[in-house]
Structure 1
Amino acid sequence: MDPIDAALAALSLQSKPNYTKTAEEYGVERSTLSRRHCNITGSKADGYENQSFLTKQQSQVLVTYINKLIE
């Protein structure tokens, strides 16, 4: 598990989120942690997925089809 994901999980257990303490504990940036927790920003992987023309499932179907044509 990435440190940011672990920190987000720890924040979800807190009644009043303490971003500074949690960020120091998990070694992540406080501002990044607070933005991710408030759903202002997402992960880079999510951003890359939103930019792609095909979903992962569509890509897999296309690769399977191409491999079938090659055979």
Structure 2
Amino acid sequence: MQPIQAAIEEMEAHGEEEQLSCTEVAEKHNVSRYTLARRCKGIQASVQAKAINQQRLNPQQEQDHKLP
């Protein structure tokens, strides 16, 4: 698992009631606190999500159109 994903999962696991500091979690996982905050807020998508959104065909359509 990538460090950023581990940090996001840790933030999400604690939920709204128990607030964690993005700075503390980012330092623990050695990731940028800005990236972590943006990913948690849904402002910035992962590289994989961006790549899928830029494709003309979604993965299912791509499988359907592959040659035998």
TM-score, normalization by structure 2? 0.88
Q: Residue 13 of structure 1: CA displacement?
A: 2.7
Q: 1:40 aligns with which of 40, 43, 48?
A: 43
Alpha-carbon separation, structure 2, partners of 1:12 and 1:5: 10
Counterpart amino acid of residue 54 in structure 2 = Q
Counterpart amino acid of residue 49 in structure 2 = D
Moved beyond 2 Å, runs of 4+: none
Q: 1:52 aligns with which of 51, 55, 67?
A: 55
Q: Does 1:7 align with 2:10?
A: no
Provide the alpha-carbon RMSD of the alignment.
0.9
Structure number with the higher helix fraction is 1
Q: Residue 48 of structure 1: CA displacement?
A: 0.8
Gaps of at least 5 residues in structure 1 are: none
TM-score, normalization by structure 1? 0.85
Q: Which has the larger radius of gyration?
A: 1
Counterpart amino acid of residue 2 in structure 2 = D
Percent identity over the alignment is 34
Q: Say how many residue pairs are matched.
A: 65
Alpha-carbon separation, structure 2, partners of 1:3 and 1:51: 24
Q: 1:19 aligns with which of 18, 22, 25?
A: 22
* Structure having greater relative contact order (Cα 8 Å, sep ≥ 6): 2
